[in-house]
Amino acid sequence: MFIGFDYGTANCSVAKMEHGKPELLKLEGNNVYIPSTLAAPTRESVAEYLFKFRDIKPYDAIGEQVLRRAIAFNREESIELEASDLAFGNAALDLYLEDPSDTYYVKSPKSFLGASGLRDVQVSFFEDLVCAMMDNIKRNAEAHTNQIITDTVIGRPVNFHGRDSEVANQQAESILLKAAKRAGFKNVEFQFEPVAAGLEYEATLSDNKTVLVVDIGGGTTDCSLIEMGPSWRGQADRTQSLLAHSGQRVGGNDLDIALAFKQLMAPFGLGSKTTANIVMPTIQFWNPIAINSVDAQSDFYSRANLATLNQLKKDAQEPEKLARLLDVFHETLGYRIVRQAEEAKIALSEQPQYRVMMQVLSEQLEVDIDFNDMVEAIASPKQKMAELVKEAVEQGGVTPDAIFMTGGSARSPILRGAVQKILPNIPVVSGNYFGSVTAGLARWAEVCFK
């Protein structure tokens, strides 16, 4: 059996073909989408879980080294790992929110796969993370279909990390491929996510069109200019129909982080001053919420930075604010703050004002945000997304007949307005914001494996 697999930054989903149409499969209870999250007692628990409970062995010598170290660490910490200790999706988020300080929690590991400067051990660790998540999804999909899944087409962004970084793309695709093979997939193909979304839209067309697909996902924005329609449908070689691609690691997560930074970090000391009237270093308020940056998270939660934060509190005109930042450090609250910003972003797409209620230990903070505050906060990532639309059209040299927008953040009236400003008078259409990529991947899997 074959499936299309959208290993997304925000959510994962898979689909099979049933009577000529894609059908999304249940992955978490009755839900066809599962958040891209994992929780465990420790970072080291992932490798041990795969080996001990899933009989998934390391891929190479580096992986074996990671596994040995993981088992030794857990023994030293007197952690007797149980299969139920690893949680995925909403269950992982619940576990983290219940006890942030004693839970190892990862959201959107896809964001890190193309990061530069990763050591072999770090690459192996990310491979374990992705493998554990893929294994969980594959087992749940097989339970839904009562069939063994052997083949898959996995979606990938045009660029995982920055622009035109082929080294990053190769690194990220290699991690995904190895993880998928270890999780039990026999045959694995890849397809650009915007192309996959385009294939799903193409199934609705009765005439040939030139379509600009704009896929604004959780971690990346990708644009593909594609000739599509009845003449192309079902063809195995689509090379001539793919006119242009652009992509960058800027997506829904970046909007959430930007909003969190601009609107939610003041109670933690952003913009406040020391007794010497020096503004507090901005980096200390950016790093804890930059959840898509390995370096930022490592720097903020390092032991050395704890000493820096304690000194900033001593020197602060408003030490109570820096005390809250220390709570963020000790309780690992960065993910929680960004989640609050995400909830505000979603609410402000439909209402003019929103009150954020943040719980920091026993203290509840309230921050009011209005629509204009959000527009200002996300101006920089919005501009980057708009530039990608321009780039794809200029590269293709053709004005599209239609713009197909997909991805969770494509629902934003701010982002839709930015696209329409670049290409006025071109109709903007949408399908399933969350499922178009998955459905298109299933259609492409049918071409590849049937």
pLDDT at 324: 97
Last residue of a domain, which of 185, 215, 250? Answer: 185
The domain total for the chain is: 2
Give the C-alpha distances (Å, rounded to integers) separating 321 from 23, 83, 318, 355: 50, 40, 6, 20
Strand partners, 107: 37
pLDDT at 162: 61
| H or E stretch covering 212 | strand 209-216
Q: Vertex 353, ends 347 and 355: CA angle to 5°?
A: 80
Contact 372, 378 (CB under 8 A): no
Examine the domain organization and report whether 98 and 33 are in the same domain: yes
198 inside domain:
no
Q: How confident is the model at residue 362 (pLDDT cuts 50, 70, 90)?
A: confident
Q: Vertex 264, ends 263 and 269: CA angle to 5°?
A: 110
Helix axes 252-264, 334-348, angle to 10 degrees: 100
Q: How confident is the model at residue 101 (pLDDT cuts 50, 70, 90)?
A: confident
> How far is the C-alpha of 309 from the C-alpha of 100, rounded, in Å?
19
448 inside domain:
no
The separation between the first and the last C-alpha atoms of the chain, rounded to the nearest angstrom, is 9
Name the residue among 118, 204, 232, 229 with its Cα closest to residue 167.
118
Examine the domain organization and report whether 157 and 108 are in the same domain: yes
Examine the domain organization and report whether 219 and 312 are in the same domain: yes
Examine the domain organization and report whether 174 and 317 are in the same domain: no
**Rounded CA Rg of the chain:** 22
Contact 317, 327 (CB under 8 A): no
447 inside domain:
no
> How far is the C-alpha of 401 from the C-alpha of 208, rounded, in Å?
10
> How far is the C-alpha of 138 from the C-alpha of 121, rounded, in Å?
25
- Residue 315's domain comprises 205-430
Give the C-alpha distances (Å, rounded to integers) separating 385 from 131, 230, 259, 422: 30, 30, 16, 11
Examine the domain organization and report whether 216 and 365 are in the same domain: yes
pLDDT at 174: 97
CATH number of the domain within which 159 lies: 3.30.420.40
To the nearest 10°, report the CA torsion of 274, 279, 282, 288: 20
Examine the domain organization and report whether 173 and 276 are in the same domain: no
Block residue for tokens 């992932």: 46
Name the residue among 449, 434, 450 with its Cα closest to residue 193.
434
Lowest-pLDDT choice from 136-145, 155-164, 276-285: 155-164
Examine the domain organization and report whether 180 and 241 are in the same domain: no
438 inside domain:
no
Tell me: the pLDDT tens digits for 17-70? 999 999 999 999 999 999 999 999 999 999 999 999 999 999 899 999 999 999
> How far is the C-alpha of 433 from the C-alpha of 430, rounded, in Å?
7
Residue 82 φ/ψ region, left for φ over 0, alpha for ψ in the -120 to 50 degree band, beta for the rest: beta
Last residue of a domain, which of 153, 185, 217? Answer: 185
> How far is the C-alpha of 319 from the C-alpha of 324, rounded, in Å?
9
pLDDT at 97: 87
Examine the domain organization and report whether 122 and 221 are in the same domain: no
Strands (E), 261-410: 353-360, 363-370, 402-406
pLDDT at 161: 77
Block residue for tokens 């930075």: 305
Examine the domain organization and report whether 288 and 360 are in the same domain: yes
Local structure of residue 273 (DSSP, 8 states)? B
200 inside domain:
no
pLDDT at 403: 97
24 inside domain:
yes
> How far is the C-alpha of 59 from the C-alpha of 330, rounded, in Å?
35
Using DSSP bridges, classify how beta strands 209-216 and 402-406 pair: parallel, antiparallel or unpaired: parallel
Question: Rounded mean pLDDT of 387-399?
Answer: 96
194 inside domain:
no
> How far is the C-alpha of 186 from the C-alpha of 150, rounded, in Å?
5
Residue 343 has pLDDT above 90, yes or no: yes
pLDDT at 116: 86
Examine the domain organization and report whether 168 and 316 are in the same domain: no
Task: Show Cβ contacts of residue 342 under 8 Å, excluding neighbours closer than 6 positions.
Answer: 252, 256
Name the residue among 156, 184, 176, 186 with its Cα closest to residue 249.
156
Percent of the chain with pLDDT over 70: 99
Mean pLDDT of all residues belonging to the chain: 95
Tell me: the pLDDT tens digits for 303-341? 999 999 999 999 999 999 999 999 999 999 999 999 999
Residue 214 has pLDDT above 60, yes or no: yes
Residue 216 φ/ψ region, left for φ over 0, alpha for ψ in the -120 to 50 degree band, beta for the rest: beta
Tell me: the pLDDT tens digits for 148-206? 999 999 999 999 976 557 899 999 999 999 999 999 999 999 999 999 999 999 999 99
> How far is the C-alpha of 161 from the C-alpha of 382, rounded, in Å?
17
> How far is the C-alpha of 191 from the C-alpha of 181, rounded, in Å?
17
Last residue of a domain, which of 154, 185, 216? Answer: 185
Question: Cβ–Cβ contacts within 10 Å for residue 425, how many?
Answer: 6
The answer to whether the pTM exceeds 0.85 is: yes
197 inside domain:
no
Lowest-pLDDT choice from 228-232, 290-294, 310-314, 395-399: 290-294
Give the C-alpha distances (Å, rounded to integers) separating 75 from 38, 70, 79, 85, 129: 21, 9, 6, 15, 20
Tell me: the pLDDT tens digits for 410-425? 999 999 999 999 999 9
Examine the domain organization and report whether 145 and 233 are in the same domain: no
Question: Cβ–Cβ contacts within 10 Å for residue 448, how many?
Answer: 17
Examine the domain organization and report whether 233 and 150 are in the same domain: no
| H or E stretch covering 221 | strand 221-228
